[in-house]
Amino acid sequence: MTDQGETAQPGEGWRIGEDGLPFRHAARVLLLDAEDRVLLVRAHDADQPDRTWWFTVGGGIDDGETPARAAAREVLEETGLVVDPDTLIGPVARRSAVFDFFARDVRQHEVFYVHRLTAAAPEAGELSTAGWTAVERSFVDELGWWSVADLRTLGVEVFPSELPDLVSEVLARLPVDGGAWPGPVRDLGDLDPRGAASERDGEPDAAP
């Protein structure tokens, strides 16, 4: 009999890695408006609904997709905003994170891009959530624009935890003409609950 606890995968795009954990590659976007605010998504813990956190827009890279195209697709699905993948700047950062998903630990290898909106940014409540999946709707609550100053004093968790510093660095080094990222690509490290505090990164504690 197959041991589902060891071999079950949490959905499309996940594979079993060398460490026995399901893993996938993902692309995320620091979506900035003219006021230097970053757009984030708020989610809650499926087992502890009162526990909430904010995380960056993005998700898994489909087979055959480049990271930039996956990032642009995720922006469209999660916000309704159309972003040309060729206008994305970066990657500006990368990390590997282990978090709870599908009632087990999974690993996600992520790259982060930046995109500055050229038109007036819609208010968070005006953004489209029509592209959210049923699973996402079960634990994702809202979208919100946040300044770096507000992120530093926010009373709930933010993922990645280095986000305020990362956004500050990006704002200081972002090419004004939309050119290539001058570097370096910031390495946010390997976040593993087996050796450090667990990071949820916007995923439910026990997804279907």
- 133, part of any domain: yes
Contacts of 99 (CB under 8 A, 6+ apart): 105, 106, 108, 193, 198, 199, 200, 201, 203
pLDDT at 49 over 50: yes
Span 199-203, mean pLDDT? Answer: 42
- 113, part of any domain: yes
Q: What's residue 208's pLDDT?
A: 25
- 18, part of any domain: yes
- 200, part of any domain: no
- 32, part of any domain: yes
Q: What's residue 171's pLDDT?
A: 96
In the chain, the number of structural domains is 1
pLDDT at 54 over 90: yes
pLDDT in tens, 83-92: 999 999 999 9
Our measurement of the distance from residue 40's CA atom to the centroid of its chain's CA atoms, rounded to an integer in Å, reads 8
Closest CA to 140 of 77, 87, 89: 77
Two tokens, residue 171: 């704002």
128 neighbors 142 (Cβ within 8 angstroms) = no
Q: What's residue 179's pLDDT?
A: 83
- 84, part of any domain: yes
- 202, part of any domain: no
What CA–CA distance (Å, rounded) separates 62 from 129?
A: 20
Span 31-57, mean pLDDT? Answer: 88
Q: For residue 131, what are the domain limits?
A: 11-191
Span 153-182, mean pLDDT? Answer: 92
Span 154-169, mean pLDDT? Answer: 94
Span 114-123, mean pLDDT? Answer: 88
Residue 185's CATH number: 3.90.79.10
What's the whole-model pTM score?
Answer: 0.84
- 206, part of any domain: no
